[in-house]
């Protein structure tokens, strides 16, 4: 009498468990990386929005030889995007102006209410303004964490 064995169909339990474990490991790596990527993209939106005010302030300085004291001086509105709004704050002296970007309710919860600062300074003997991007400039009590900032702002 001949014994025939059936052809094995499907996966064994151990094969399925290994597959689930591999998917879990990949998800544990990919999800935080994706979250970090989306936050950095939202921060970049704020930096791009602040460019409008940066250009207006630089133009005002080139034409008037001094920094504007308010946003009304540069005839610029408040640039707003999906995740952030940008405002200008006149400095306490005539050599510094701040452009403050605040991240709103649609931004990732890790940066909601946080702020990024661009600072324009008059440098004696130089015709152009010196711009500095900072997460924590001293005027913001809720800075964007450094790990989400572009290298130029850290």
| Predicted confidence (pLDDT) per residue in 72-93, tens digit | 888 877 788 899 988 888 766 6
Q: In terms of Cα–Cα distance, which of 110, 52, 39 is closest to 85?
A: 52
Residue 43 · residue 150 · CB < 8 Å: yes
pLDDT at 4: 65
Map out the domains of the chain with their CATH numbers.
Answer: 13-153 (3.30.700.10)
* 61 pLDDT more than 70: yes
pLDDT at 6: 63
Model confidence at 137, in pLDDT bands (50, 70, 90)? low
From edge to edge, which strands make up the β-sheet containing 129-134? 84-90, 96-103, 115-122, 129-134
Q: In terms of Cα–Cα distance, which of 43, 107, 47, 95 is closest to 67?
A: 95
Residue 113 · residue 106 · CB < 8 Å: no
């Amino acid at each position: 009498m001949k014994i025939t064995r059936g052809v094995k169909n499907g996966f064994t339990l151990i094969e399925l468990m290994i597959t689930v474990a591999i998917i879990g490991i990949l998800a544990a790596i990919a999800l935080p990386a994706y979250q970090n990527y989306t936050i950095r993209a939202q921060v970049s939106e704020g930096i791009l929005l602040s460019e409008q005010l940066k250009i207006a302030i630089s133009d005002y300085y080139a034409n008037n030889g001094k920094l504007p004291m308010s946003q009304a001086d540069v005839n610029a509105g408040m640039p707003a995007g999906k995740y952030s709004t940008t405002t200008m704050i006149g400095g306490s002296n005539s050599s510094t102006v701040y452009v403050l970007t605040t991240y709103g309710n649609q931004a990732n919860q890790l940066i909601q209410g946080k702020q990024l600062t661009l600072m324009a300074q008059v440098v004696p003997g130089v015709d152009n303004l010196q711009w500095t991007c900072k997460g924590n400039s001293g005027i913001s009590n809720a800075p964007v964490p450094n790990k989400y900032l572009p290298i130029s702002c850290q």
